[in-house]
Structure 1
Amino acid sequence: MDEKLMDLRGKVCIVTGGASGIGLATSTLFAKNGAKVAIADVNLETANDAARQIGGDASAFACDVSLSGQVSAMVDGVVARWGRIDVLVNNAGFGFTGTVVSIAEEDWDRLMAVNLKGMFLCSKFVVPIMQRQGGGTIVNTTSYTAVSAIANRAAYVASKGGVSALTRAMALDHAKDNIRVNAVAPGTIDSPYFTKIFQQAADPEGLRKQYDARAAMQRMGQADEVAEAILFLASDRSRFATGSILTVDGGSSIGNHFVA
């Protein structure tokens, strides 16, 4: 195996939301770099398809990260399958439009349960395993919107601000356990989620151009570009980094490129 593809050789890695978008790109890249990959996703059928697509030592696990029982069962299943957990990628999440006035309370609660509580629960069950085995690495997916808010996304922006803060708190709490905790902050990523939005728009091409214009680089990012950043934070190449937020947003957060 090429030395540059040995970053995660033999390591057991969980990727939540691992069956699509950034999660699928990360699961695929991890497998190419020698990892044993647990694809944890709320949709087991899609996760099984992803595991077959990836090949190698990849397995699918059904998990709604907002539910403690399902998270516990998923983590137990991974340990039963491989005996340890070296890397946790807390990636599962979603978003929708709305202000604090227009968002329904139940929709706010559901988004927070997945985007923020889900990271708490997965970490809660994985950290003790990492402590017992002498260390590990956690990578959370936050967003550039945690520091550069966009209009009409109040719940999503708030959840990602919480993720960034939680990342730093966990890094401080668990440095003594040899557990590094970092986050990647993507910009707008070209994904099935946005493809569906564009298809439903009155002017799909015009809307895509608006999203492209959010970034200084004048394009949406690709899932594999974020996966590369997650791989860096998950691997020993970032061994002196903890509590860091690695922004991969094409320059969306450095200037006035936003569209309401």
Structure 2
Amino acid sequence: MADKGNILITGAGSGIGRASALRMARGMHVIAADLNVDSAAETVSMIEADGGSARAIKVDVSDKASVTSMKERIEKDVGSIDKAFFAAGIYIRGMVCDIPEDNWDRMMNIHVKGTFLCCQAVLPDMVAANKGVIVNMSSDFAVMAVPAAAAYMAAKSAIYSLTKSIALEFAPHNIRINALGPGPIDTPILQSGRSPQEYEDARLMLADKLPVGRLGQPEEVAAVLDFLLSDRSAYMTGQIVHPNGGQLMW
């Protein structure tokens, strides 16, 4: 379990973000941020039902004013952010010649710009405290190729490079920044844009390809996040860690 303090988690309303919020609430106060604040509030209710402490806040990570407003409200309500997990994301499938420009821009704005803006918002206070840990959300797709995923893969690759750059810049301030690169995880993103039958077919196809023979669960990614946020990973920074069922072995 990570140390005590305040943790900001974006994309906390579902999937890996929600599972991570539930896990980290065992020892930290969670700020559950999401564009869908009702979903974030559901996560908070789950945390509180389990005896944890949390609050929900709405944020559009692709909008600087929204991110700034979130940061100011957090400062007013709970003080500084000690650790952060930036997991907000979407997945829009499409072959290269068929991707509308606005879909491309949306993917880049939410994933890349959103990660940048959120890091930019929390880093000054971490520098002042001379400590902090950030984990960004990348993907196996940052280092592999599959059809109909060019925008998502480009965005996740950018997050990997951004993570390394920020990690190098802020290492002298005792701040660590790593990234998670999950493989196939059974989350709402896997379901997005698919009919129920297409979703089931995708689950079976992916499970059959993985060496472990199954999809991962959000809670398994959250367990790796817990490690990356804790002092057990104190010698790790600028890395992408892949909880992926062995996907990158082929």
Give the Å deviation of 1:170. 0.5
Number of the residue aligned with 2:42: 49
Q: Note if contact 2:180-2:225 (Cα within 8 Å) is conserved in structure 1.
A: yes
Matched, 1:219 2:219: no
Which of 40, 43, 58 is the aligned partner of 2:54?
Answer: 58
Deviations along 1:32-56, one digit per CA (max 9) or x if unpaired, are: 1x10100010011111111111112
Residues 203 and 29 (structure 1), Cα distance of their counterparts in 2 relative to 1, 3 Å cut: closer
Q: Amino acid of the residue matched to residue 245 of structure 1?
A: I
Q: Note if contact 2:141-2:156 (Cα within 8 Å) is conserved in structure 1.
A: yes
Number of the residue aligned with 1:258: none
Residues 204 and 25 (structure 1), Cα distance of their counterparts in 2 relative to 1, 3 Å cut: closer
Q: Note if contact 1:8-1:30 (Cα within 8 Å) is conserved in structure 2.
A: no
Number of the residue aligned with 2:14: 20
Deviations along 1:111-153, one digit per CA (max 9) or x if unpaired, are: 1000110000001111011111221000011001111121110
Structure 1: gaps of 5 or more residues: 256-260
Q: What are the residue-to-residue correspondences of 1:1-260 with 2, within 5 Å? A: 5=1, 7-9=2-4, 11-32=5-26, 34-55=27-48, 56-195=52-191, 200-202=195-197, 205-255=200-250
Q: Amino acid of the residue matched to residue 22 of structure 2?
A: T
Structure 1 SS opposite 2:31: strand
Write the distance in 1 (CA, Å) between the matches of 2:46 and 2:245: 29
* Structure 1 runs (4+) greater than 6 angstroms displaced: none
Write the distance in 2 (CA, Å) between the matches of 1:8 and 1:205: 38
Give the Å deviation of 1:69. 0.6
Write the distance in 2 (CA, Å) between the matches of 1:154 and 1:109: 12
TM-score (norm 1): 0.91
Structure 2: gaps of 5 or more residues: none
Identical positions, percent: 37
User: How many residue pairs are counted as aligned between the two chains?
Assistant: 247
Structure 2 SS opposite 1:190: coil
Write the distance in 2 (CA, Å) between the matches of 1:203 and 1:109: 26
Write the distance in 1 (CA, Å) between the matches of 2:109 and 2:116: 10
Residues 222 and 176 (structure 1), Cα distance of their counterparts in 2 relative to 1, 3 Å cut: same
The CA RMSD over aligned residues, in Å, is: 1.4
Residues 104 and 51 (structure 1), Cα distance of their counterparts in 2 relative to 1, 3 Å cut: same
Give the Å deviation of 1:195. 4.3
Q: Amino acid of the residue matched to residue 46 of structure 2?
A: Q
Write the distance in 2 (CA, Å) between the matches of 1:96 and 1:215: 23
Q: Note if contact 1:66-1:121 (Cα within 8 Å) is conserved in structure 2.
A: yes
Structure 2 SS opposite 1:84: coil
Give the Å deviation of 1:204. 5.2
Write the distance in 2 (CA, Å) between the matches of 1:127 and 1:191: 29
TM-score (norm 2): 0.94
Q: Note if contact 1:170-1:181 (Cα within 8 Å) is conserved in structure 2.
A: yes
